[in-house]
């Protein structure tokens, strides 16, 4: 029997709704959630392919979790680092933060050199802006926000784009295009109070101070579905500080993140890498221990999207694996 269930797309921080198609208990496809207020019946290619890994899930093994707990018990807490990733729900992150605080573990919260901005504009503000300044290839990487930029242009806005790629989709709709360093782009433009600056990358962590000093509305667009929620809970660190922390780490605990793909770092230099993940990725390939967990399709929880809206999502499938909160509670209980 064919059944349709609603949930949230996990591909970036836009927060689109997505419909998952099930044939009995088997997930067979997706299509856009037409009544969802964020994406209004559209899903990008990342959203459409978001279920591809569902058949490659790890099977839970309680012995692995017991081995990991034993390793954590015998390790130096001050040299244990936990990756605090926006791929986890708000509920997961609350539990992970409590685990770190109770045991004195280091927290590594990193998202493309971005951080939390307390005051951000809504997607509707983008469409109604007179001038939109874009840093990065947002139309390609975050197309459902890119759609709002296109609407702004159709409404008469002037679009200024700063990116490395002169022929990118975002550059192709620009009224003015530059490929300056981000700090020069910010210093060389006159920004009005009602202008909107969207960005999904910067050159350095210091660029964020420049962005905050500009008298315009801001919207950082993160690469992970709950980066906004994660960075509201803990302070982000720069790439340089993240690498410095990794160099001092002897045990690295990674929840739902392919951290190996984010840093040019020799992760094999860390004594123990522990990955909590539903699927295979580059991080699980080099990990000393892999603890299987439920995927986003098998969990209830909430994500906070780029504009600061917290949305609930529901499981559409069952799994015998433990969720992140269950795993963290098991570890916490044994470390007390």
Q: What is the pTM of this model?
A: 0.94
Would you state the pLDDT for residue 209?
A: 95
CA distances from 173 to 34, 155, 166, 304 (A): 26, 13, 11, 29
The series of mean pLDDT values per 10 residues for the chain, 336 residues long, is 88 91 85 83 82 75 90 96 97 98 97 94 94 96 93 96 93 96 95 95 96 94 96 97 98 97 95 95 96 93 96 91 95 91
Would you state the pLDDT for residue 128?
A: 93
Show the DSSP H helices in the chain as ranges: 45-48, 62-74, 90-103, 123-128, 138-141, 143-154, 169-172, 182-187, 207-213, 227-233, 239-247, 282-286, 324-335
DSSP 284: H
Would you state the pLDDT for residue 155?
A: 95
Would you state the pLDDT for residue 29?
A: 84
Would you state the pLDDT for residue 94?
A: 98
CA distances from 309 to 85, 165, 302 (A): 18, 31, 10
Residues sharing a CB contact under 8 Å with residue 56, sequence separation 6 or more, in sequence order: 279, 280
User: What CA–CA distance (Å, rounded) separates 336 from 167?
Assistant: 56
């Amino acid at each position: 029997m064919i059944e349709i269930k609603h949930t949230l797309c996990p591909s970036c921080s836009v927060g689109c709704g997505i419909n998952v198609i099930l044939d009995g208990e088997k997930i067979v496809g997706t299509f856009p959630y037409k009544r969802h207020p964020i994406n209004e019946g559209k899903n990008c290619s990342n959203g459409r392919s978001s279920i591809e890994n569902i058949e490659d899930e790890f099977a839970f093994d309680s012995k692995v979790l017991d081995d990991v707990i034993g390793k954590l018990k015998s390790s130096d807490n001050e040299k244990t680092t936990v990756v605090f990733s926006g791929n986890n729900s708000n509920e997961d992150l609350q539990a992970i933060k409590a685990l770190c605080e109770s045991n004195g573990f280091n927290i590594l919260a990193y998202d493309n050199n971005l951080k939390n901005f307390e005051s951000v504009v809504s997607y509707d503000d983008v469409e109604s802006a007179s001038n939109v300044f874009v840093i990065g290839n947002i139309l390609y990487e975050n197309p459902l926000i890119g759609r709002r930029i296109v609407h702004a242009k159709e409404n008469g806005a002037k679009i200024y784009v700063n990116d490395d790629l002169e022929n990118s989709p975002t550059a192709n709709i620009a009224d003015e295009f530059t490929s300056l360093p981000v700090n020069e782009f910010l210093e060389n433009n006159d920004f009005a109070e009602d202008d909107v600056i969207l960005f999904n990358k910067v050159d350095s962590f210091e660029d964020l101070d420049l962005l905050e000093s500009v008298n315009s509305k801001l919207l950082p667009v993160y690469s992970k579905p709950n980066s906004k929620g994660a960075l509201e809970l803990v302070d982000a660190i720069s790439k340089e500080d993240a690498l410095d922390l990794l160099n001092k780490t002897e045990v690295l605990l990674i929840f739902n993140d392919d951290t190996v793909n984010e840093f040019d770092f020799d992760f094999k230099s860390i004594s123990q890498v522990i990955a909590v993940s539903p699927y295979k990725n580059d991080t699980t390939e080099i990990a000393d221990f892999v603890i299987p967990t439920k995927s986003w399709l098998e969990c209830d929880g909430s994500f906070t999207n780029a504009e600061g809206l917290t949305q609930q999502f529901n499981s559409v499938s069952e799994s015998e694996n433990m969720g992140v909160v269950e795993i963290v509670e098991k570890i916490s209980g044994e470390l007390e």
